[in-house]
Amino acid sequence: MPSESPRTAKPTTLFVSDLHLDASRPQATAAFLAFLAGEASQADALYILGDLFEAWVGDDDTSEPGASVASALARLSASGVAVHFMRGNRDFLLGEAYAGRCGMRLLADPCVVRLQGEPVLLTHGDLLCTDDLAYQDFRRQVHDPAWQRQFLAQPLAARHAFAAKAREASRAHHATVVSAGQAEEITDVSPDTVEATFVRFGVQRMIHGHTHRPAVHELHAGGRGRTRVVLGDWYDQGSVLRVGAGGWSLDRLAIGAS
């Protein structure tokens, strides 16, 4: 009898987020492309839960690393691996045109999917950081459809300039909360919001990124035990969650020097 393919024999679903790919960090892009050509090619599905790119100013931007990533994701999708993408706070403008080039399906944030027969909540994670009032105000502004239409109508150079200013403002905001000793409570998730989200969706497990604090948290919410899995970023090292018949595993990936 012929042996089963790895994808048939050991079905695995992979989750990543917060890669923050940018031309200034070619080592991270190289690591992700190697991941797509290697482990991801043997998976059943790949979920990217936001912030694939450091900034995304519109699907009409064909510069790197977006172009090479689109080609690699398209090859992965064409090989039979289901690719899913959820927008993050850095690439909330990524749209259907780019998703089509990649062969990936766009997901609402939040959404519930079934993993190993169990409903699991997926979210980028910024919606859980409700104690950061300044950020939540900014998020509401840039997710307004009218704001997005006006922004995307601007020349590409103007959009890149805005993105650069937004990144600088984000760094300044983070420095302010750190100096005030509020980094843990302001930039991390709100426990009350996490509990309310679990109860609202009625799930036992949640997966998210955004906070760059990779961990598996066991907690009680609504009188039930729950599990919150936080994906890590791809700065000094990569982060991947593997879900299969053998269980769940949150692991680190090496990223080589540039």
115-139 pLDDT, tens digit per residue, is: 999 999 999 999 999 999 989 999 9
Identity of the residue numbered 145 = P
- pLDDT given for residue 210 in this prediction: 97
Numbered residues of the known binding site: 18, 20, 51, 89-90, 124, 132, 170, 210, 212
Per-residue pLDDT, 115: 96
**How crowded is residue 60: how many other Cβ atoms within 10 Å of its Cβ?**
11
In this structure, is residue 1 part of a structural domain? no
Q: What is the DSSP letter of 4?
A: P
CB neighbourhood size of 156 (10 A): 14
Number of domains in the chain: 1
Give me the pLDDT at residue 7, please: 46
- What is the torsional sign of CA 6, 8, 9, 11? positive
- Binding-site positions for Mn(2+): 18, 20, 51, 89, 124, 210, 212
Task: For residue 171, give the 3-state DSSP assignment.
Answer: helix
CA angle at residue 171 from 167 to 175, to 5 degrees? 170
How far, in Å, are 212, 213, 235, 250 from residue 66 at the CA level? 22, 25, 17, 26
In a domain, 80, yes or no: yes
Residue 195 contacts residue 203 (beta carbons within 8 Å): no
pLDDT at residue number 2: 41
Sequence ranges of the binding site for substrate:
89-90, 132, 170, 210
Tell me the mean pLDDT per 10 residues along the chain, length 258. Answer: 45 95 96 97 98 97 97 98 97 98 98 96 98 93 97 97 88 72 71 97 98 96 97 96 96 79
Residue 168: domain span: 6-254
The CATH number covering residue 189 comes to 3.60.21.10
Give the separation between CA 210 and CA 80, rounded to whole angstroms: 28
User: What's the confidence (pLDDT) of residue 8?
Assistant: 45
**In this predicted structure, what is the pLDDT of residue 186?**
56
Give the pLDDT confidence score for residue 176 in this predicted structure: 74
Three-state DSSP at 1 gives coil
